[in-house]
Amino acid sequence: MVVPQAESRAQRRRGRWQPRLDRPALVALILGVLGVGYRLYLVLNTVPVANSDEATFGLAALHIAQGREHPVFLYGQRYMGMLQSYLAAPLLAVTGPSWPALRLPVLALYALFLWLIHRLTRRIGSPWFATAIVGLLALGSERVIRDQVTTVGGRPEVKVAVLVMLLIVVGLARGTVRHRRWAVGGFGLLAGLALWSDWLIAPYLAVAGAALLWVLRRELLGGAGLLLVVGFGVGIAPMIRDNLVAPAGQDSLSVLGRISGAQGPSPMWGQRLDGGLLEGVPLAAGLCPMTGCAGWQEWFGLLYPVLLVVAAVLAGLAYRRRVGRGERVVAVVHLALLVGAAATLLAYVRSSLAATDPLGNARYLSVLQLSLPAVLWPLWVAAVACARGTVGAAGRLVGALATALLAALAATSLVVTVLFATVGAAPGRVQERESRQLADTVRAAGLREVYGEYWTCNRLVFNTGEQVVCGVLDGELHPGQNRYPAYWWRLARAARPGYVLEAGGSADRRLRELLGEGADAALLAEVGGFRVYHPPTPLRPWR
């Protein structure tokens, strides 16, 4: 397991060098172990509950492990990289279809993220501040945990990549990196891999690149610049290759252009700001349950842009006061993290998703965790100065307020975490158990080809290890979003497919309408809110 970094001293004991953690690092280690252990418990119990999006990554991992497929992007979607499926493939090759095995590599990425952000925060902040950041990130509401342990692509690995890139920048500025050119090549490789994996990280890649340019300047005109380009090319090569062979209009840029330019009613800016700031930021920070933020939990959304501005001003002043790259790199990294957060937040607020479905789309702000050390640094500095009594009356007032805000942030995160761990996770466990019962029922009935709805199909296929395949239908029993076409074509050849539909849903009502008096006779079972049908003759109304 990955442990938090200790800027530790090495002591010679009994002829061996043994590292000794200082007190802040030891506390950070304990907090990190607790955070990873909490998530490991949830992973082993398949909490949060799995869904068909995650199942698609799992099916891709099974196909990779079997040598059947080597996907570049998520099936049916040419912009989300499949790195998590490749990481899970060796485990699934041993265990077969297993939700915990699918999620363990993502959990390892979270542990690595904790270690790296601790290292970076110690370098650009202070030891105890780094410990506090680890403590906050060890907590986790359902929204936060879902982004950190479920295999839904992109965000866990790109956060790790950005932290390594920024640590390379700091090391290059301070002269602690031995092989500078190879480090720059590694920087480029990580940038390419991150961009392939998840385009959401683009703002952070841009500011990390700007920080690297500030550090190296003329060095990039030589061999270091060449290795940077080569590394980036190798990292992004899967995306380039796939786009070169993609059908017209199916390349990544075209697909993303259609998604971002989708037509629909344009929400007012007040709605965007309400959904993006007051809902999105607290949800992404782990201050609210999945059901949404109460009024008293929205304070961090209002405070966040203020902290961005204050932290940017302080970083600018620190840059002017300090001399030399080794000293100024701290302010540069702070500014990079702040600009990355601001750009990410602005892009999200500009999207209509922030207004139309803030609860479902707050996941796009999970990368803001990268900027937590820079955003909270002004509060920490003010609180420490107040505690040490090194400021006047005004400073003590500001410090007391900063201390109260940090305490409120930690307390709210802790309360929401405890509520999820003790109460909020129970419905998910029930739903997961019913999902497995549904898979067992379908197999026991002898069904091998069934039609179902999107959030049923690939999850059912994964739970049965592809013993049962499923074709996606919409509410009118017409073809839906079939991410893996091979399943749909197999259903097209099936002589007598079954149906697995949500009881009482629009698709269920439509099927019963078509079956007429034979609906009850075709009903095999009802499990966990789903109905399993096996009509005597196939029903394909789209034909």
Length of the chain: 543
Q: How does residue 536 score in pLDDT terms, banded at 50, 70 and 90?
A: very high
Burial readout 157-191 (b: 16 or more C-beta within 10 A, e: otherwise): bbbbbbbbbbbbbbbbbbeebeebbebbbbbbbbb
Please write the tens of the pLDDT for every residue from 136-195: 999 999 999 999 999 998 789 999 999 999 999 999 999 999 899 999 999 999 999 999
The 3-class SS string of 100-161 reads HHHHHHHHHHHHHHHHHHHHHHHHHCCHHHHHHHHHHHHCCCHHHHHHHHCCCCCHHHHHHH
Global pTM value: 0.93
CA–CA distance, 454 with 268 (Å, rounded to integer): 31
Under a CB-based contact definition with an 8 Å cutoff, are residues 47 and 103 in contact?
no
CA–CA distance, 64 with 483 (Å, rounded to integer): 16
Q: φ and ψ at 18, to 5 degrees?
A: -125, 125
Please write the tens of the pLDDT for every residue from 107-152: 999 999 999 999 999 999 999 999 999 999 999 999 999 999 999 9
How far CA 526 is from CA of 372, 431, 439, in Å, comes to: 47, 14, 12
Q: How does residue 11 score in pLDDT terms, banded at 50, 70 and 90?
A: very low
The tokens describing 181, both together, are 């050119």
Weakest-pLDDT range from 213-227, 249-263, 502-516: 249-263
SS3 state of residue 97: coil
Q: What is the mean pLDDT of the chain?
A: 91
Q: φ and ψ at 47, to 5 degrees?
A: -125, 130
Strands 16-20 and 9-13, how do they pair?
Answer: antiparallel
What percent of the chain is predicted at pLDDT more than 90?
A: 77
Nearest alpha carbon to residue 139 among 61, 225, 293, 34:
34
